[in-house]
Amino acid sequence: MTGRAPEPVTAAANPPVEPLEANLGARDVVRASAMPNLPAPDRSLTEVAKLIDVSKCIGCKACQSACAEWNETHPEIGVNTGVYENPPDLSAEMFTLMRFTEYDNPDTGNFEWLIRKDGCMHCAEPGCLAACPAPGAIVKYSNGIVDFIHENCIGCGYCIIGCPFDVPRISPRDNRSYKCTLCSDRVAMGQGPACAKSCPTQAIVFGTKAAMIEHANDRIADLKSRGYANAGVYDPPGVGGTHVIYVLHHADQPSLYAGLPDDPQVAATVSAWKGANKTIGLAAMGLAAAGAVLHGLFGRANRVSAEDEVEAQALVDREREGDA
């Protein structure tokens, strides 16, 4: 080791080739799936964020390409289904995807081609983590990155159920769940994510969340000057904010962008399932079991008496004889 990797401040740097100590690891985990009482880490990293400025995005898929290369995934060579989305959906081999929406803007009469990079939003309140039953399979670091620890993943798919953005995908190859890691391995080395590094127009940028919000506000001012009165940032409070945030020209209508949820929340069904249901259910089961045990210990068993046997024999004899 020649030193500790720095905390990342931007995506635009060349990766080191010398061995450095990672600046992100187990000791930075603030939450882990199915491990409710995790001790607080002794340090807190600066929150990071990836900002996706939809208004700068040219839909070139460099992010998809860089993502596949960095993560060494092998997206399938599919077919053309009449649209530009390829691969057709997020998959365990494709952690990010450009989604294209053709929109005739009724207010301006202009046609708009809205292109959004889809992928994990790295929620502050991750639905996937809440849903995951495998201890330590999903972790959240103090810098905001939500990462899947594949060794711990059991492939149940509950993360898919928990995610308000429909992001995780189970690999048919190894039955483990995959999604964008925000390039936690790069961030650990002081680098930004591969997608942000590659993005030709820097529609994707990476830095501290505070810096990204500031950058977003600059962009929003620029967009407003170009007539996008509803330009704004997408950092949905329903999931506690996210560490992947968007600048949208039409922030009043997120769902225009290939169904980006207008107000994402961890679903009530998921909360019920992982909240009250879990407690009540277990309590009920526990009480039932405990009640049975107690009753068994202290109650009087229902025993067959000798008279019962006699009566039975009499009855049988009676019946048999009666027939005879």
Partner 1 sequence: MRRRHFSDRGDRILDRNPVRVGRYRLFTRINHWIIAASTILLLLSGLAFYWPSLFWLTALFGGGQAARWLHPILGLVLAVGYLLMFVQLVARNIPRHDDVVWVRHIRDIVDQNEDKLPTLGKYNAGQKFVFWAMAGLILLLLGTGVMIWHQAFPDLVPVPARRWAVLGHSVAAALMAMTFVLHVYAGIWTRGTLSAMTRGWVTGGWAWRHHRKWLKEVAGRRD
Partner 2 sequence: MTNAWTDIKNTDLAIVMGGNAAEAHPCGFKWVTEAKANRGAKLIVVDPRFTRTAAVADYYAPIRPGSDIAFLLGVIRWCIANDKVQWEYVRNYTNATFLVREDYGWADGLFTGYDEEARRYDMTSWEYQIGEDGFARVDPAMTDPRCVWNLLKAHVEVYTPDFVETVCGTPKDRFLKICEMIGTCAAPDRVMTSLYALGWAQHSKGAQNIRGMAMLQLILGNVGLRGGGINALRGHSNIQGLTDIGLMSNLIPGYMNLPRDSEPDFATYMASRAFRPLRPGQTSYWQNYRKFFVSFQKAMWGGAATAENDWAFDYLPKLDIPSYDILKMFDMMAKGEVNLYFCQGFNPLMSFPNRAKLTEGLSKLKLLVVMDPLQTETAHFWENHGAFNDVDPAAIQTEVLELPTTCFAEDEGALVNSGRWLQWHWPAATPPGAARGDVWIMSSIFRRVRALYEAEGGAFPDPILKLSWDYADASEPTPEELAKEMNGRALTDLADPADATQILLAAGRQLQTFGQLRDDGSTMCGCWIFSGSWTEDGNMMARRDNSDPGDAGMFLNWSFAWPMNRRILYNRASADLAGKPWDPARKLIEWDGAKWTGYDVPDIGVTAKPGEVMPFIMTNEGVGKLFSRKGMVDGPFPTHMEPFESPVENLLNPALRGNPAARVFPEDLAQMATGDEFPYVGTSYRLTEHFHTWTKHNLVNAALQPEFFVEISEQLAAEKGIRGGQQVRVWSKRGEVWAKAVVTKRIKPMICAGKTVHVVGIPLHWGFTGVARKGWGPNSLTPFVGDANIQTPEFKAFLVNIEPVEGGPLA
Partner 3 sequence: MNKGLSRRSFLRLAGAGVAGTSLGALGFGAAEAAEVAHVRAFRLTATTETRNTCTYCSVACGIILYAKGDLKAGETAELLHVEGDADHPTNRGTLCPKGAALKDFALSPTRAVKPRYRAPGGADWQDITWDAAFDKIARAIKDDRDQNFIARNDQGVTVNRWLSTGFLAASGTTNESAWLTYKTVRALGIVGFDNQARV
Q: Which residues bind partner 2 (CB under 8 A)?
A: 55-62, 64-65, 68-69, 74-84, 86-87, 94, 102, 104, 110-115, 200-203, 218-219, 222, 225-226
Shortest gap between Cβ of 282 and partner 1 (angstroms)? 6
Tell me which of partner 3, partner 2, partner 1, none is bound by residue 185, counting a contact when its beta carbon lies within the kind-specific cut-off of 5 to 8 angstroms: partner 3
Letters for 88-107 (x = contact with partner 3 by CB under 8 A, - = none) are --------------------
DSSP per-residue letters across 64-126: HHHHHHHHT---------SSS-SSSS-BTTBS-EEEEEEEE-TTT--EEEEEEEES---BSS-
Our CB check for partner 1 shows the closer of 90 and 115 to be 90
Please report, to the nearest 10 degrees, the dihedral formed by the alpha carbons of residues 316, 321, 322, 324 taken in order. 130
Q: How far is the CB of 196 from partner 3 (least distance, A)?
A: 9
Is 286 near partner 3 (CB under 8 A)?
A: yes
What DSSP state is assigned to residue 262? S
Report which DSSP code applies to 255.
G
Select the binding partner of residue 259 from partner 2, partner 1, partner 3, none (C-beta < 5 to 8 A, by kind).
Answer: none
Residue 152, interface with partner 3 (CB under 8 A)? Answer: yes
In angstroms, the Cα distances linking 151 to 63, 128, 155, 165, 191 are: 26, 16, 10, 24, 24
Q: Please give the biggest Cα pair distance in the chain.
A: 106
Residue with tokens 């968007």: 246
Bridge partner list, 205: 51
Interface residues for partner 3 in 169-188 (CB under 8 A)? Answer: 181, 184-186, 188
Q: 188: which 2 tokens?
A: 């650990």
Q: According to the binding rule CB under 8 A, does residue 39 interact with partner 1?
A: no
Note the residue count of the chain: 324
Residues at the contact surface with partner 3, assessed by CB under 8 A: 1, 11-20, 22, 24-26, 29, 32, 34-39, 60-62, 64-66, 68-70, 134-137, 139, 147, 149, 151-152, 181, 184-186, 188-189, 194, 197-202, 282, 286
